[in-house]
Chains A and B, each alone.
Chain A
Amino acid sequence: MSKIIIGRYIPGDSLVYKMDPRGKLLITILFILTIFLANNPITYAIITLFCFLAIIATGLKARVFWNGVKPLIGLIFFTSLLQLFFMTGGKVFWHWWIFSISSYGIVNAIYIFVRFTLIILISTVMTVTTMPLEIADAMEWLLKPLKVVKVPVDKIALVISIALRFVPTLFDETLKIMNAQRSRGADFNDGGLIKRAKAIAPILIPLFIHSLETAIDLSTAMESRGYRGSEGRTKYRVLNWSKYDLISLAYFVLLVGLLLIFRTH
């Protein structure tokens, strides 16, 4: 089973770090949506340029971003290749059975490759420059409008923060349980699929019981400290908008403007 690194945050103090996580999260989501607007070489060039400007603004080494793309590079190539063979139209260079390579296919494969890479890069900018806790706070803020349709946002915020807090703890616990079972002969990487499927229960059940016990203990602790539901409470961790968010907003508006001017309608 693979090794997991928890948290991808890398400390720094460049421009991007000073931005409000809410602004960053919104712009990341919107950036991914604006990639849909690109439909010709000029717009793809513009959006690539803007993505690289954002990367430079983080002030981090190129290796960080390469590490973000590396695990997916095989998938990206494979996907682009499949697209190359399946897209038809334009000049046909090679044809066999249902596969063909056409000029349209080549252009599209390149577009998909660029899109894929840009989306991963811009998401890497977000996760590398923002602490998980800040991202979670930003998500909570984004969910707030759902209150209008009676979604229990406060409870969701509580669940988010508990999940966030306990992922590392439960992860350590998982490794501990696995080691404990291994020391008594359990084997998680051997045998057929069914044997491996059966090997999951000895990890899962202790983990499950541990979570159940933690839930009971934690709720007792929270109630004894005066927790009576999410309403009527103050906030200790507060997010503040800064002047740097105006820069990112202006940057984004400029990008959308340029894309709308140069895209083929």
Chain B
Amino acid sequence: MNAKKILRTDLQQMIFLGMIVAMKIILSQFSFGSTIVKVGLGFIGSVLLAYFFGPVWGTIGGGISDLVSSAIFGNQGGFFIGFTLTAMAGPLIYALFLYNHPVKIWRIVASTILVTIIVNIGMNTLWLHLMYGMNFNALLVQRLPKEMIAPWVQMAVIYIVLQAVSRVKIKK
């Protein structure tokens, strides 16, 4: 929680929130991995939002990140409120496990699995089902293979990132 101690005023917090949202948007444009399994980096932004801002402002920040990235890059699936809710749910779940808690492996594992099941498999599939009228099972067949592999990579990245971020100290 070093960054929280460094930031003094409410305004600093809000600007830092804006910067982290901008970071999340940029990170979500990058991905790594082979052509078979591509893991986007947007989840790192969600974790940072959750870790530093907690459930309330983390969730709001997640929503803002979806709005701003649609304004800049255009929303690839079209403007749909469901995906904004998805972007809000991720940081919310991460925050419940990671905010104001020491970095523990079980917290990372549990939050990532919950996010994968509730957000990526549950909500996003539901939105696509609602939006395009697709068959739910067909969607699951299409999405499940990726969601079986990606979480394990994400857990490793989250652990590395949180370890590193919690060591950041700025002397001004």
Contact = CB atoms under 8 A, between A and B. Distances in A.
Given A164-B68, A215-B7, A216-B6, A194 B156 contact: yes
Nearest to B39: A193
A233 to B, nearest CB: 13
A162 B22 contact: yes
Contacts of A253: none
A215 B79 contact: no
Interface in B14-43: 14-23, 25-27, 29-33, 37, 39, 41
B9 A201 contact: no
Interface in A101-117: 108, 111-112, 115-116
A153 B31 CA distance: 32
A212 B78 contact: no
B15 A218 contact: yes
A219 B16 CA distance: 9
Given A123-B79, A159-B14, A215-B7, A111 B133 contact: yes
Interface in B139-172: 139, 141-142, 153, 156-157, 160-161, 164-165, 168, 170, 172
A163 to B, nearest CB: 4
A167 B25 contact: yes
The secondary-structure label for the interface of chain A is: helix
Residue in A2, A78, A120, A156 whose Cβ sees the most chain B Cβ within 10 Å: A156
Contacts of A91: none
Contacts of A193: 32-33, 37, 39, 153
Contact of B23 (A126, A207, A216): A207
B61 interface: yes
B contact residues, range: 35 or more
A189 B25 CA distance: 21
A79 interface: yes
Contacts of B164: 201, 204-205
Interface in B95-118: none
A222 interface: yes
Interface of A: 1-2, 4, 6-8, 25, 28-29, 32, 36, 68, 71-72, 78-79, 82-83, 85-87, 108, 111-112, 115-116, 119-120, 122-124, 126-128, 132, 135-136, 139, 155-156, 158-164, 166-167, 169-171, 174, 188-189, 193-194, 196-201, 204-205, 207-209, 211-216, 218-219, 222-223, 227, 229
23 contacts: A1-B30, A2-B31, A6-B73, A25-B79, A28-B79, A36-B130, A86-B135, A108-B133, A111-B133, A115-B131, A136-B68, A139-B71, A160-B67, A164-B22, A164-B71, A171-B26, A197-B156, A200-B157, A205-B168, A212-B168, A215-B18, A218-B15, A222-B11
